[in-house]
Amino acid sequence: MKRANSGLTWIQQPHVTTFLRELAASPEITHAGLDQLPASPTREYVRGLVVEHKVLPRRDELSTRFTSWAGQAIGRVTTQNHRDVIRRYIRWHHQRRMNQMDEVTQGTFLRAKQSVTVAIELLNWLTEHHTDLATMTQAHLDRWQAEGPTTRGIASRFLDWATKTNLIDPSLKLQPHRRGTSPRLDAATQQDLVQSLTQTTEMSPRDRAAAILVLVFGQQISDVVKLTWDHVTVSDEEVTITLGAVEIALTRPLDEPWRALAATPTHDQTAAHPNSNWVFRGGSPGKHLRAASLTERLRTGFSSRAARLGTLHELTKVAPVAIIAEALGYSPVTIERHAIDSSANYARYIASTMRIQDTSRYGQRT
């Protein structure tokens, strides 16, 4: 830590002092011991510090949080039979998947909680209507779906698992939710935004660097925040970034925010990030910036989702699917979907133009 005063100022805050006194009273510092102390951001920050400095081994916090949450969620199920079903669903579907991951992502954690919550709502509704999962009919399922919000469609994940484990009739299906077309930025708006990024002084270099990856290369925020300096090369001649299987060179002036970041990295040599390799370092010790935080920061200029979809839509018009997927780190299936959508829109445009021309010719003949 370059400035000890920063650490002392943090320690002297009343809530931090109180927590550290409670921690000092513990016979030893362990994850289990920390879990017994009152839950708070301070507790998790201190946990991150002691892990980052190798006082405690690293553990998957989101997986641990899900296990704790799931134990409480099971208690909301109103019958023992359905509690057993939910317990199996949590253990053999969600926890099994998390155990196979190197690190549970925020998205996986939130989707698992949402999926279990909606499944519990369905099972409790069945109980209220004097039936259970084994005797559920399509009429029950249709009524439950119709009576609630569109988020009940998430129960399809639970029903797929129930079908595979022979708990329900395989013919039972939820009605698919008709989604509207997601908004996307048009090419002209994107070009204006990219141009403004090279001139603005209102955005930090970090936010400008992230915005370039979204607007120019169609990157998802969840992938942007995971970039490390191993993915970036900064030299006098050029700046290159590896997003997929190949290095992509940034032309001037798009490379300027990246040069600024490399020259003056934030959170460098602090207690929270003594040896961090993250490009987008976060507020938690040793962690990268949260995707939700970066999305919110960029929202002052544009919607990251609309920008990403607009970029991929335009790219599929000018390059083959395989090349885009390899260069940008997407699966070919994902890029293929965008290509089909792009082609469909172009086909509709051509058809519309032909109809206008036909009408014009007909008018001339009359």
Distance CA 212, CA 226 (A): 15
316-353 core/surface letters (b: 16 or more CB in 10 A; e: else): beeeebeebbbbbbbeeeebbebbebbeeeeeeeeeee
Q: What is the pLDDT of residues 145-190, one digit of tens each?
A: 999 888 899 999 999 999 999 999 999 998 876 554 568 888 889 8
pLDDT of 357 over the 80 cut? no
Distance CA 11, CA 18 (A): 10
Coil vs helix vs strand at 105: coil
- Contact, 79 vs 58, CB < 8 A? no
Element (H or E) spanning 174, and its range? none
Confidence of residue 27 (pLDDT cuts 50, 70, 90): confident
Q: What is the mean pLDDT of residues 230-256?
A: 89
Amino acid at 102: D
Distance CA 284, CA 41 (A): 10
pLDDT of 364 over the 50 cut? no
Token pair for 46: 């201190």
What phi and psi values does residue 67 have, to the nearest 5 degrees? Answer: -60, -45
Q: Which of 156, 159, 175, 179 is nearest to 167 (CA)?
A: 159
pLDDT of 355 over the 80 cut? no
Q: What is the pLDDT of residues 104-118, one digit of tens each?
A: 888 899 999 999 999
Q: What is the pLDDT of residues 45-75, one digit of tens each?
A: 888 888 888 888 888 888 999 999 999 999 9
Confidence of residue 7 (pLDDT cuts 50, 70, 90): confident
Q: Which of 71, 5, 16 is nearest to 49 (CA)?
A: 16
Question: What is the share, in percent, of the chain residues with pLDDT greater than 90?
Answer: 37
Count Cβ atoms below 10 Å from residue 234 Cβ, excluding itself.
17
Rg (C-alpha) for the chain, rounded Å, is 26
Query: Which DSSP state fits 179?
Result: P
Domains (range + CATH), the chain: 62-164 (no CATH), 191-302 (3.90.15)
Distance CA 267, CA 282 (A): 8
- Contact, 281 vs 289, CB < 8 A? yes
pLDDT of 362 over the 70 cut? no
| pLDDT of the residue at 75 | 95
Element (H or E) spanning 160, and its range? helix 155-164
- Contact, 111 vs 118, CB < 8 A? no
Q: What is the mean pLDDT of residues 202-218?
A: 90
Instruction: Of 199-213, 233-247, 352-366, give the lowest mean pLDDT range.
Output: 352-366
Task: Give the count of alpha carbons within 13 A of 228, CB side only.
Answer: 6
Torsion of Cα atoms, 306 then 311 then 314 then 316, to 10°: -110
Residue partners of 142: CB distance under 8 A and separation at least 6: 175
- Our separate counts of H helices and E strands in the chain read 18, 3
From residue 281, give the alpha-carbon distance in Å to each of 4, 87, 172, 266. 20, 37, 46, 7
Distance CA 247, CA 197 (A): 22
Place of tokens 């549970």: 104
Q: Angle at which helices 304-318 and 332-365 pack, to 10 degrees?
A: 70
Confidence of residue 241 (pLDDT cuts 50, 70, 90): very high
Token pair for 59: 């553990």
Q: What is the pLDDT of residues 307-349, one digit of tens each?
A: 998 888 888 888 888 888 888 888 888 888 878 876 644 444 4
Whole-number mean pLDDT of the chain? 84
| pLDDT of the residue at 270 | 67
| pLDDT of the residue at 344 | 47
